A and B are shown apart, each in its own frame.
Chain A
Amino acid sequence: MKLPERLEPTIKEIKFILKRFKDSPLSIAGILIVLAFVVIAVFAPLLAPPQVYNPYLIPSDPELGYKIEPSPPSPKHPFGTTRLQLDVYYGCIWGTRWAFQIALEVIIIVVIIGVALGVISGYYGGIIDEIIMRFTDIILAFPGLILSMCLVAVLTRSGWLTIDAVLLSIIIIGWPGYTRLIRGEVLRVKTEDYIEAARASGASDLRIMFRHILPNTIYSLIIVASLDFGGIVLTAAALSFLGLGAPAGFADWGRLIYDSMQFVAGGLKWWWVYTYPGVFIVLFVLGWSLLGDALRDVLDPLYRRK
């Protein structure tokens, strides 16, 4: 008897979210695209069985010889091969998994930093706020991509793996935005009457932060994080495209496009080398943007029913 009553609001909430999603075809498209990518990432070992110890290394086909020129799509290589007969299909499939890995790692770390610093900054204010905000200003003063290029260049020179350097540089350019977002939300929520009411009922600072402020800010965080998910992959791809990211032969969409740069000169002759990875990147970013918009429709209190 007790359980259904306890779950009632949750069920109602889920029903409401589902209904909202159902009403908007773009939301459904976003969810389907993202789901498709999740499936590809999860089943990558089945879709494209790895042939060497590190699955992120694209195998090349010795039967086609070691010529530079790409080979067109064939039953054995559905998306064709690129430079040195590396399989484009394999690169796209494992590139999906790699994209999720980059984006998840960056998002998780950036959200943790952003929430911690943003809540402290917004809740306590004063000199702590001032210090944290000036640090975000320093980072935000540089154009993001250029700063991350410099960081990658410096870090790889001092012995870091390029992949780690790319992750770290995206985290460094990413955290100030989240810190500011959370700080702003905390400042908004902090002045609400229910915070004062909580204080009047004897709640401690920690309780107010975790029971009242965070639950009321977390939704805008979810929205921004999901919109950003594609953006992070795009930044990583941009770095790879500029030759600063993943090494040659690595299953990374940006790297595949970088490799195909020299073949663009051939016009449509080698169309498969750049089209397939390009489509993957575009769909991935589009899917997450649509999902982010859908989440905003559902979660943002401004768009919600009263």
Chain B
Amino acid sequence: MENLIAIENLKKYFPIYGGVLKRKVAEVKAVDDVHLNIMRGECFGVVGESGCGKTTLGKTIIRLLNPNAGHIFYRVPKEIVEAIKYLERNDPKSKALKYLLKEYDIAYLTGRRLKKFRRYMQIVFQDPSTSLDPRMLVKDIVAEPLVSQGLAKGANVGKRVVEVLELVGLSRSHLYRYPHEFSGGQRQRIAVARAIITNPEFIVLDEPTSSVDVSVRAQLLNLFKELQKKLGLTYMFISHDLSVVECISDRVAVMYLGKIVELAETYDLYKNPLHPYAKALFASIPVPDPTRRREKAPLYGEVPSPVNPPAGCRFHPRCALAMDICKRDEPPLVDVGGGHLVACYAVTEKE
């Protein structure tokens, strides 16, 4: 499969200001040194606890947030990525590198070029009751990306709006209504219509089903799958609901404290999680079978603060398998076979 998005060393730190002079006193390391590739046409799931940086990761990739460091390559040929990596290692101050970054790296886009790029990447937020402007008609909400990017004018806008509304299962009769006149599921459909109106290739779905009830959740998931097939979309599906992610994703990444600790194909990961954190996480999925007794892998303690993450492996204070090396060095993401990546010395050193 073709690589659509490649993310290298992505970092997003939020400053904390304190004191009388409002100086920066610390940083929340929300996303710290993340690498990942997203293939064209796949649904890439991201799971993790609240506060582990999954939403920040999604928003940074589509440049709603500015990354502190790292690269976001979108549809960039492998050779150029290689060239950039080579130059960074050997000649980090060269003009060629600067030019290549400016030309290809999403993380460096500004102004008009950033605006142009917006049409290819969109986002659907968690709660449609806050992500739709309460003072705007559905017609205007859905048309906004077209209008503000100058992609269509006049009657074409209206035509296209009706087209996408029909795609998401709404109709022409909903055009002249306000968001508060709709149910939760319908509102999320409006948000989806807004996201697909510019024909994007990549959509970040930021917990799009967690604000609706279960029956509507299933309908929305079917809608996402259907749209993916029809429009050839690539998704990044962020959620803390493991069963929803299992249902829709092709590959899943597990995040812990701003880092990806394990990444594998969905079936593989759910059946055989390797990282101790992932093990505990997947063991927590309730199984509706009273006779089955499962091996419990409880976790003790709390997630440490992302302001001062533990040295070495971030999971080591809570890990039953922690070794000396875990306290010193950060484990790299290593492929243990079949595209199953895991960042844990206890797993990779054993092999």
A interface with B by C-beta (< 8 Å): 5-6, 8-9, 192-194, 196-204, 207, 211-212, 215-216, 301, 306
Contacts and interface: CB of A to CB of B under 8 A. Distances in A.
Interface in B97-152: 115, 118-119, 122-123, 125-127, 130-137, 144-145, 148-149
A182 to B, nearest CB: 16
B144 A198 contact: yes
Interface of B: 62, 64, 115, 118-119, 122-123, 125-127, 130-137, 144-145, 148-149, 175-178, 180, 191, 194, 198
B133 A201 contact: no
A202 B148 contact: yes
A9 B145 contact: no
B125 A201 contact: no
A72 B10 CA distance: 87
Contact of B130 (A193, A203, A207): A193
Contacts of A203: 144, 148
A interface secondary structure, majority: helix
A303 to B, nearest CB: 14
Contact of A202 (B115, B127, B178): B115
Contact of B148 (A194, A196, A204, A216): A204
A199 B118 CA distance: 9
Nearest to A7: B176
B118 A200 contact: yes
A200 B176 contact: no
A207 to B, nearest CB: 6
Indicate the member of A8, A197, A212 with the most B CB atoms within 10 Å: A197
Contacts of A199: 64
Contacts of A194: 130-134
Q: Nearest 7 CB-CB pairs, A to B?
A: A201-B145, A202-B118, A193-B131, A203-B148, A193-B130, A215-B135, A194-B133
Contact of A198 (B126, B133, B134, B135): B133
A212 B144 CA distance: 11
Nearest to B150: A202
B149 A201 contact: yes
B160 to A, nearest CB: 14
